[in-house]
Amino acid sequence: MTGRNRPDPALVKGWCPGALRPMETGDGFLVRVRLTAGILPAAIAGELSDLSRRFGNELIDYSQRGNLQLRGVSIENIHPLQEVLAELGLLDHDAAAEAVRNIVASPLSGLDPEAAIDGRALCAALETRLTEDASLHALPGKFGFVVDEGGRLALDDVAVDVRLAGLKTPEGARVLIQVATAPGHYQSIAVVPVEDVPDRAADLARAVIALRVGLADAPRRMPEILARVGLPALFEAAGFGEIMAEVTPLLPRACGAEAVLGDHTHDPAAFIGVGAPFGRFTADQMALLGELAAERAAGELRLTPWRVVLIPGVKPEKMPRIRPWIASARYVFAPDDPRLAVVSCAGASGCRSATVEARADGETLAPHARRLAKSGVTLHVSGCQKGCAHPGPALVTLTGRDGAYDLVRNGRAWDEPWMTGLTLDEAVAALTDLAPL
């Protein structure tokens, strides 16, 4: 199969949306709400549900970086919605500050007894540095950080540019700083005290901004920048000196949706994990999560990069009364739910670039996708060649084109297809044929 480095440039439009800079889609404007350390108070969950009903189409998307996106907002409703978000403390002072708050935090930040650091405090300090230092606002829109507490849940599967991981050392808590050199590969560059992390992260950010100047087609992600200028240039620009030797990696830890879904109320950091079907909640589903957190747990929700919401503080004896609500709302709750095998975009009803109903078709395809492998994502259903929902390769990708599907094996939405022009029924048959005997 002959692949390409990126989708057709003519299809790549728009930007990373925010609350101050909404993005127009096929069903209105999309308004993204960013939350510090992924912590969502139960009352705010209820407010967002109400705002989705008042100003949107009652659909709330859950992004792969743990942000919530209100869909279907009309242009007349954008300003009234922003006014309410400001009253709730969910609006940044300007769009540039909002755009740099791309930080994914450990979902159990501050709750995990196994953690080396408190991710809540570090996320807040890093956000403050990024938003208040105007010189850092020139960072590319998708440039992102991970704050991994070093506890029971890893964030190894989250694609970012800079990783900040908590370490337990004889000298006390420290943070390992790593930069992405290729998808899934990171170079360790320093181990620093927790209080030094915002300064060192700012140094890296300024280096990235400086190195992009003068580069043709200025790259936006760390691996692309390093491919053009090399690691030594980054170290020199950021003031990190010589490349340090590799640090002994953390022991393998659980990560992904399957690791957090379901009943974990007997764990030290007691919680339950509830998934968004194909990355989307209805307003009613979001409101119910807020009610469960307020009435039967610790009063807050934790967002994850796996499209699973954690409800911490649920006591085991309350589960018999909670389970019926979870079942009736059709959340993803079991780690073997076949819907976990599929990643899909909004499809034609929610995106002008799409020519197929990717999300609805994903539900039909899910049982067949699960047979391709016992765990993990096996199928990416993309409404067009952009592949927004899953930029990386998948075991099977179905790419919408002119109302039908092209099938790509072990590739991305824009790669050369193995089969073309499939109807939904033909796609089902193809997945059946590809499944192991």
Q: Are 104 and 159 in contact (CB under 8 A)?
A: no
Distances (CA, A) of 403 to 17, 302, 359, 378, 384: 27, 37, 14, 22, 10
Closest CA to 65 of 118, 13, 113, 102: 102
Q: Which domains are seen in the chain, by residue range?
A: 1-253 (3.30.413.10), 257-337 (3.30.70.3340), 339-434 (3.30.413.10)
Q: What is the 3-state secondary structure (H, E, C) of the chain?
A: CCCCCCCCHHHCCCCCCCCCCCEEECCEEEEEECCHHHEEEHHHHHHHHHHHHHHCCCEEEECCCCCEEEEEECHHHHHHHHHHHHHCCCCCCCHHHHHCCCEEECCCCCCCCCCCCCHHHHHHHHHHHHHHCHHHCCCCCCCCEEEECCCCECCCCCCCCEEEEEEEECCEEEEEEEEEEECCEEEEEEEEEHHHHHHHHHHHHHHHHHHHCCCCCCCCCHHHHHHHHCHHHHHHHHCCCCCCCCCCCCCCCECCHHHHCEEECCCCCCEEEEECHHHEEEHHHHHHHHHHHHHHCCCEEEECCCCEEEEECCCHHHHHHHHHHHHHCCCECCCCCHHHHEEECCCCCCCCCCCCCHHHHHHHHHHHHHCCCCCCCCEEEECCCCCCCCCCCEEEEEEEECCEEEEEEEECCCCCCCEEEECHHHHHHHHHHHCCC
Overall pTM > 0.95: no
Model confidence at 6, pLDDT cuts 50, 70, 90, reads low
Specify the pLDDT at position 2: 38
Closest CA to 266 of 335, 315, 332: 315
Specify the pLDDT at position 3: 44
Q: Are 104 and 37 in contact (CB under 8 A)?
A: no
Average pLDDT along the chain: 92
Q: Which two tokens stand for residue 221?
A: 């992600």
Residue 30: is its pLDDT beyond 90?
yes
Specify the pLDDT at position 247: 73
The tens digit of pLDDT for each residue in 367-412 reads 999 999 988 899 999 999 999 888 889 999 999 999 999 999 999 9
**Triad 235, 143, 234: Cα angle to 5°:** 10
Specify the pLDDT at position 389: 87
Region 64-91 average pLDDT: 96
Specify the pLDDT at position 11: 42
The tens digit of pLDDT for each residue in 317-351 reads 999 999 999 999 999 999 999 999 999 998 998 88
Taking the C-alpha atoms of residue 234 and residue 232, their distance in angstroms, rounded to an integer, is 5
Residue 225 has φ and ψ, to the nearest 5°, of -65, -45
Q: Are 300 and 315 in contact (CB under 8 A)?
A: no
426 CB burial (10 A radius; 0-12, 13-18, 19+): middle
Region 162-187 average pLDDT: 92
Residue 22: is its pLDDT beyond 50?
yes
Q: Which residue has the tokens 């590809």?
A: 434
Taking the C-alpha atoms of residue 13 and residue 139, their distance in angstroms, rounded to an integer, is 19
Nearest-10 Cα torsion for 197, 164, 45, 98: 60
**Cα dihedral across residues 111, 116, 121, 122: positive or negative:** negative
Specify the pLDDT at position 183: 82
Buried-exposed string 59-98: b where 16+ CB fall within 10 A, e elsewhere: bbbbbbbbbbbbbbbeeebbeebbebbeeeebbbeeebbb
Q: Which two tokens stand for residue 43?
A: 């009352």
Nearest-10 Cα torsion for 256, 147, 36, 389: -40
Q: Which two tokens stand for residue 19?
A: 């609350």
Residue 15: is its pLDDT beyond 80?
no
The tens digit of pLDDT for each residue in 88-123 reads 999 999 999 999 999 999 999 999 999 999 999 999
Q: Are 269 and 259 in contact (CB under 8 A)?
A: no
Q: Which residue has the tokens 């560059």?
A: 189
Model confidence at 226, pLDDT cuts 50, 70, 90, reads very high
Q: Are 234 and 180 in contact (CB under 8 A)?
A: no
Residue 246: is its pLDDT beyond 80?
no
Q: Which two tokens stand for residue 171?
A: 């000298």
For 41, what's the count of Cα atoms within 13 Å in the CB-facing half-sphere? 6
For 411, what's the count of Cα atoms within 13 Å in the CB-facing half-sphere? 22
Q: Which residue has the tokens 């580069």?
A: 215
Residue 14: is its pLDDT beyond 50?
no
The tens digit of pLDDT for each residue in 359-369 reads 999 999 999 99
Taking the C-alpha atoms of residue 271 and residue 301, their distance in angstroms, rounded to an integer, is 10
Residue 57: is its pLDDT beyond 70?
yes
Q: Are 23 and 29 in contact (CB under 8 A)?
A: yes
Region 47-70 average pLDDT: 96
Specify the pLDDT at position 316: 96
Residue 242: is its pLDDT beyond 60?
yes
The tens digit of pLDDT for each residue in 134-163 reads 999 999 988 999 999 999 999 999 999 999
